[in-house]
Amino acid sequence: MQISAAIIMLLVFLKTTVSPLSSPVPTQKAEAAARCRWRLLLNVGREEGTWMPEDWGASGSRLAIPLLVDFEATRSNLDDEMLVGRNSLLVSPASDATFINESGEQRLQVNPGGWSVEPPKEGKSPAVLRFWLDFGEGGVKRDTTLPAGKVFFTAAGWMDEEIEVGNKARNKLVELLENDILVNLKAAQADYDSSNPIAKIAKLRYDNYGADVVATQF
């Protein structure tokens, strides 16, 4: 039995070195770009819309499994997987996979797998990272189980240039929103001052974001 990829949530997928978004063919350029170590956190449990047995994970218990993995630029030499594609590169565990259940800390054997990147469609979508790892043994926490076997992962990815463009667009949007909020606050303050006699007497005013109130006494 292979667990549905839909119930694997990557709560933490933090890149610790360069992004592996490169050609799946191990060229010199790919070797320089592909070597990196990522920290994963598998959060295994019942998810809405998945086809698991009714009693699987019914209690709400979840398996939280942290794991470091190395993405490499060498061929995996493992059987091709349809969800990852041909000529996949090697992804290997760089740490023990552990989790906590009723009996304390447990360790899982994790074997290497393969990874590949589907290039982005120009102007339409990000690149897609796909990879799998082979869990040589499963884990159990109450009524939630991770069977031994291959677990498949997918994640969206962006080139550095795309991230830079996105950050610039986001910063511009934030600036526009802040300016709009400031204009609206000043207009609201002016309306308040013109219609409230107490405000006129006390000369109440808000700072730029209305966070502080300052009163001037006569």
* Mean pLDDT, rounded, of the chain: 74
Q: Cα–Cα distance between 49 and 42 in angstroms, integer?
A: 18
pLDDT tens string 121-132: 776 678 888 999
Residue 71, exposed/middle/buried by CB under 10 A (0-12, 13-18, 19+)?
A: buried
> Region 85-89: what's the mean pLDDT?
83
pLDDT tens string 141-159: 999 999 999 999 988 877 6
pTM across the whole model: 0.60
Whether the predicted pLDDT of 68 surpasses 70:
yes
Whether the predicted pLDDT of 37 surpasses 60:
yes
For 148, phi then psi, to 5°, come to -65, 145
> Region 173-199: what's the mean pLDDT?
74
Per-residue pLDDT, 165: 67
Alpha-carbon radius of gyration of the chain: 26
Are residues 128 and 118 in contact, defined by beta-carbon separation less than 8 angstroms? Answer: yes
Whether the predicted pLDDT of 114 surpasses 80:
yes
182 DSSP β-pair partners: none
> Region 56-69: what's the mean pLDDT?
93
